[in-house]
Amino acid sequence: MDHFLYRDGELYAEEVPVADIAAAVGTPFYLYSTATLTRHFRLFDEALAGTNHLVCYAVKAASNQAILKTLAQLGAGMDVVSGGEYARAKAAGVPGERIVFSGVGKTRAEMRMALEGGIRQFNVESEPEMAALSDVASEMGRVAPISVRVNPDVDAMTHAKIATGKAENKFGIPISRARQVYAQAAALPGLDVVGIDVHIGSQLTDLEPFRLAYDKVAELTEALRADGHDIRRLDLGGGLGIPYTRSNEAPPLPTEYGALIKETVGHLGCEIEIEPGRLVAGNAGILVSSVIYVKSGEGRDFLILDAAMNDLIRPAMYEAHHDIVPVTEPAAAAERVPYDVVGPVCETGDTFAKSRQLPRLAAGDLVAFRSAGAYGAVMASEYNTRPLTPEVLVDEHQFAVIRARPAFDEIINRDTIPPWL
């Protein structure tokens, strides 16, 4: 569910007409709904009711400080994967004890930053990382709380580029070596082993891979406790998918996911952490664009938009589908025609959809890409010296620009000309 609905023939974001925001901000722009962000976070929080838990929003999905602050005020923790994301979470008012630091390549500088600013735990992913973290913590006179990310060799049955829990993926340590690695961690002076971490992928639309992974985590918890480790926290990752189309696609609900967690690991008495990102932010955002031209080609018509692959790279990178809808609601009987929907970037890959059935559109018409709140703005670039897409947040009847579109001078003036030129 989201809060982008047609009313009186126009697409609204909560109580604000999308066309009014486009007139004020210009296109393209990302638009987020506070009500949808709030609802989706609370679904996860309520799904784990009755357990000791923390819902840590995955910052990489959509990292604007306004989004982070909205969720932090609801009690969310944050899952970060870089020093920059850690700094964003702190700037948004998230206390260190609610921040989990994940990622395979944490630098010593990032470790030091988090230990100085406060951290709930590091999810470590290799023996060299454990050794480095122990060194940094010891040098600072600190002890770093850690969970070790185990790779359960479970096929998440998702796109290959977002699968993270198979043996050939770069993430975590093989679960077959977990007891050996935990013994090494316990022997390091700068570490406090507090739990187990697992994350098998993103955009999962079936609960069975989660069940397989969590059953393995439960077995490992019992084994590690038998070895003398005080396993008191389980970080079960994120990855629950969203419906990117309005067809019969129906990923599991957070309530079903929460029930599975209680069934598989609830008996262990551990504090539960989960790291949803896509399901919190995905349907909470749209990308609004204008039609520049409608071009007739050889056997096909092109809808050329002012948004491009640098603004929304998911279709080019993942062959991802986004529903595209006119901002002005078409009549029920309106003729639909096939368009190749493309952007103005000089790449054949700058294609959002091929032969997409849409109502007839004309230059100047507004369209919206649905389900664009996650991995949209955060993956944008300034390729072709195109300004980064602005972001806008709606809250009932009000809206605010939460990241402005930079002027060309701002972009160009970041360059430094060496003295010999």
Mind telling me the catalytic residues? 346
Print burial letters for 42-54: b (CB count within 10 Å at least 16), e (below 16): ebbbebbeeeebb
Contact 357, 336 (CB under 8 A): yes
Q: DSSP character for 235?
A: E
Tell me the C-alpha distance between 117 and 109, whole Å: 12
* Phi, then psi, of 81 in degrees rounded to 5: -130, 15
CB atoms within 10 A of CB 93: 11
Q: Where are the alpha helices (DSSP H) in 79-207?
A: 83-91, 108-117, 127-139, 178-187
Looking at the DSSP assignment, which residues form a beta bridge with residue 151? 174
Tell me the C-alpha distance between 234 and 273, whole Å: 6
N-term to C-term CA, the chain: 56
Q: DSSP character for 407?
A: P
Tell me the C-alpha distance between 295 and 310, whole Å: 21
Tell me the C-alpha distance between 271 and 278, whole Å: 23
Tell me the C-alpha distance between 101 and 85, whole Å: 9
Tell me the C-alpha distance between 375 and 344, whole Å: 21
Contact 387, 408 (CB under 8 A): yes
Print burial letters for 13-23: b (CB count within 10 Å at least 16), e (below 16): bbebebeebbe
Q: Where are the beta strands (DSSP E) in 269-378?
A: 271-274, 285-296, 301-305, 324-326, 336-342, 351-359, 366-369
Tell me the C-alpha distance between 70 and 45, whole Å: 15
Tell me the C-alpha distance between 250 and 259, whole Å: 17
Q: Provide the residue type at 91 as one letter.
A: A
Contact 41, 280 (CB under 8 A): yes
Look up residue 319 and give its two tokens: 């062959």
